Amino acid sequence: MMGRNRRRGDRHERNYRRFDRRYGSLNNIKMKIPSFQGRNDPEISLEWEKKMKFIFNCHNYSNAKKVKLVVIEFTDYAIVWWDKLVLSRRRDGERPVETWRENKVLMRMRFVPNHYYRDLYQKLQRVMQGSKCVEDYYKEMEMTMVRVDVNEDREATMTQFLKGLNKEIAHVMELQHYVELEDMVHMTIKVERQLKQKEISKYNTDFCSSYKPSWKKEEKDIPKQTTKNKTTEDLKEKGKAETQSSRNRDINVLNVLVQVT
């Protein structure tokens, strides 16, 4: 892995030298060296290391100057660790740290544990789309691959990407053939967008077919309510009439009885 990183770093340096020859040197551009606190966070350490690499690629610093520029921006625990390292090497008769590459190796030994890359590789095998959109899923997968420094075959990467997709998207993509991973990702994003549009259209159709306007229901209920009220009122009037008739009949009977007596 270290050999691959070294070859990749040399290739970047050659590319920057060609850039300088073609477009001019970047040495006159002032760049601020980021500070390093020495936190126990491998991702922060590796991100800081990458920023330093970009800065050193823009400036033709000597190895000694690179080490000094790095050390001068150490803060908090990083200062304590560096002082202890310098004293220990001096006491043991070892030569001082003279190159950025050596400094980088020592910093990785202290701030990036050995199990970090193993854990990242295991995480890479478990990366799934889940509730994320395709673009966010691919970014997470790509960032993990960069941190693990995976240099695998293109087909293997495309298979890994396909395996982590949600089933409804993966079923569509399995019927396609792609040569480049980027083309596959762009088409997957397009398929995801189309599936979402179909879901929205289906939801709107189902909603419209099941929706019954309330005003129609009220119109149908009004005659029923009127008929019911009318029937009730008729029964009441009829009851009153029958009661009154019964009373009149009783009165007539009494009158007849009084007249007889």
What pLDDT is recorded for position 61? 84
pLDDT tens digits, 109-118: 999 988 888 8
Tell whether 159 and 139 lie within a shared domain. yes
Q: Which residue has the higher pLDDT, 181 or 232?
A: 181
Last residue of a domain, which of 62, 89, 114?
A: 114
Under 8 Å between Cβ of 160 and 215 = no
User: What are phi and psi for residue 36, nearest 5 degrees?
Assistant: -130, 120
Report pLDDT digits (tens) over 183-216: 999 999 999 999 888 888 776 776 666 666 655 5
Residues 35 and 81 in one domain: yes
pLDDT at 18: 60
| Number of structural domains in the chain | 2
**Percent over 90 (pLDDT), the chain:** 25
Does residue 248 lie within any of the structural domains? Answer: no
Neighbour-count burial of 39, counting CB atoms closer than 10 A to its CB (0-12 exposed, 13-18 middle, 19+ buried): middle
Q: Note whether 131 and 109 are same-domain residues.
A: no
Whether 236 is covered by a domain: the verdict is no
Q: Are residues 155 and 90 in the same domain?
A: no
- Tokens read off for 108: 């990785």
Band (pLDDT 50/70/90 cuts) for residue 102 is very high
> Is residue 227 scored above 90 in pLDDT?
no
Domain of residue 6 covers: 2-114
Report yes or no on 55 lying in a domain: yes
Residue environment code for 184-216, b if the CB has 16+ CB neighbours within 10 A, otherwise e: bbeebeebbeeeeeeeeeeeeeeeeeeeeeeee
- Pair (102, 132) in one structural domain: no
The answer to whether residues 159 and 192 belong to one domain is yes
Residues 18 and 91 in one domain: yes
Is 99 a member of any domain? yes
Concatenated DSSP letters of 97-109? P-SHHHHHHHHHH
Q: Give dist(CA 145, CA 124) in Å, integer.
A: 7
Phi, psi of 143 (to 5 degrees): -65, -40
Model pLDDT, residue 40: 85
Distance CA(97)–CA(154), nearest Å, equals 39
Domain assignment present for 251 = no
Looking at the fold, whether 130 and 206 belong to one and the same domain comes out as yes
pLDDT of residue 121: 84
| 133 in a structural domain | yes
Domain stops at, among 60, 81, 114 = 114
Same domain, 177 and 73: no
Domain shared by 131 and 84, yes or no: no
Residues 105 and 7 in one domain: yes
Residues in a beta bridge with 36: 74
The answer to whether residues 143 and 177 belong to one domain is: yes
Asked which of 169, 186, 210 is the last residue of a domain, the reply is: 210
CB atoms near residue 55 (< 10 Å): 19
Does 248 have pLDDT greater than 60? Answer: no
> Three-state secondary structure along 38-57?
CCCCHHHHHHHHHHHHHHHH
Task: Confirm whether 253 is domain-assigned.
Answer: no
For residues 218 and 212, give the distance between their C-alpha atoms in angstroms, rounded to a whole number: 11
The predicted structure's pLDDT at residue 16 = 52
Is 90 part of any domain?
yes
Residue-wise pLDDT for 27-86, tens only, equals: 556 678 889 999 888 989 988 998 898 888 888 888 889 999 899 999 999 999 999 999
Residue 261 has pLDDT above 80, yes or no: no
Cβ atoms of residues 165 and 129 within 8 Å: yes
